[in-house]
Amino acid sequence: MDGIHDLGGVDGFGAIKVERNEPVFHEDWEPLGYALGFLGMGLNWWTADQIRHAIERMEPRHYLSASYYERYLTGVASLYVEKGTVSQQQLEDLAGGRYPLALPATPGAQARTQEISYAVGETVLVTNTHFKGHCRMPRYVRGKQGIITHIAPPFPFAGSAGHGLEAKLEPTYHVRFQAKDLWSDAEENSSVVVDLWQSYLEKAP
């Protein structure tokens, strides 16, 4: 999904502020999203990718102003409303005010039908495809060439799993990109490794 969440390589957000000895949670409510998310997964109501897609579907201004745990809780609450377990009105009654949820779900994508495998050391090209649905391929590598460094075991294709569709098992590849090929002002001799599903890759010309 080409949304506000895909911020890799984007400038203008300032330096990352690191909190020394930062606790896992700052507020008592913050573990709630994880607890409710794993409860729904344990009941086979949704997958981890569906939670990710629900977070991606947040209204952009809400996404940028929310903390990490608020985003997670918003995504999970949206899934419970979409499941019919609770209503938005009930959430707002309990919260004592407005309770914004994710925008409606978008269509999912199927994995590529054609099987194209790759080998460690092979140069590959990332597809320059844009998705309305859930996608685990960052914008900054689309259309770029990289080298396979590792092949991971097959895993359900995220474009389908993020929408509750039957997901084809595909290997994922660790692809190393020269940072200079991604950003003109990158450090010399630096690289970035991105984990990509097989359907996101093509043979290099």
**Residues 137-147: tens digit of each pLDDT:** 999 999 999 99
pLDDT confidence tier of residue 4, bands split at 50, 70 and 90? confident
Same domain, yes or no: 28 and 86: yes
pLDDT in tens, 123-165: 999 999 887 889 999 999 999 999 999 999 999 999 999 999 9
84 and 177 part of one domain: no
Active site residues: 52, 68, 72
Q: Amino acid identity, residue 21?
A: N
Give the CATH number, domain containing residue 187. 2.30.30.50
- pLDDT higher than 80, residue 76: yes
Give the whole-angstrom CA distance, residue 83 versus residue 74.
14
From the number of C-beta atoms within 10 Å of its C-beta (0-12, 13-18, 19+), residue 135 rates as: buried
Cα 61 from Cα 80, distance rounded (Å): 22
The reported pTM is: 0.90
Last residue within a domain, chosen from 72, 102, 132 = 102
Task: Print the domain residue range for 67.
Answer: 1-102
User: Both 15 and 97 in a single domain?
Assistant: yes
Asked if residue 152 lies in contact with residue 173, where contact means CB atoms within 8 angstroms, the answer is yes
Q: Is residue 118 part of a domain?
A: no
Decide if 154 contacts 161 (C-beta within 8 A).
no
Are 2 and 98 in the same domain? yes
The answer to whether residues 1 and 108 touch, using CB atoms and an 8 Å cutoff, is no
What's the number of domains the chain is made of?
Answer: 2
Say whether both 127 and 72 belong to one domain.
no
Kindly report the CATH number assigned to the domain that includes residue 1: 1.10.472.20
